[in-house]
Amino acid sequence: MTTVFAFTERWWLPAPPERVRDVLVDLEHYPDWWPQVVAVASLGPDDARVLCRSTLPYTLDLTLHAVSRELPLLEVALGGHLDGWVRWRLEPSNGGTAMSLEQQVTVHGPVAPLARVVAPLARWNHRRMMAGGRAGLRAHLARPAEQEQ
């Protein structure tokens, strides 16, 4: 039986939606601001291989395919150890951006047979990963744009 994981997050970010979008679609630089993204390799203009490692001693090997890069909705399809999608909705809010994240995935790879048993641990690990992403993105966006990259 396949275990489906669904996650939602809502963040406020200190930059306009266009700037947030520019950072989010620039996968190559994720390791600069998201500590749990350990490596990114371009596989073409719309595709990348991304290695993620949160608190648990396990590295997720993912492929991402850009579905939408236009505001207000960014979307990527996921493959590799996870199969599914991630959507980021960006809306202007209080001088910055309200960002809603939705993610739905199934697990593949070595841990797939254990996904149902380790689900609480996997959800905790995901929360840690997202906390690192949120903090890193907020700090990155707080810098002047000319200091990026």
Average pLDDT on 110-137 reads: 92
Structure tokens belonging to residue 130:
């997202």
Q: Is the pLDDT of residue 131 over 80?
A: yes
Q: pLDDT tens digits for 60-70?
A: 999 999 999 99
Q: Is the pLDDT of residue 148 over 60?
A: no
d(CA 124, CA 147): 33
CA 113 and chain centroid, separation: 24
Structure tokens belonging to residue 111:
């841990």
CB proximity list for 144: less than 8 A, separation 6 or greater: none
Confidence bin at 6 (pLDDT 50/70/90): very high
d(CA 77, CA 103): 10
pTM (2 decimals)? 0.91
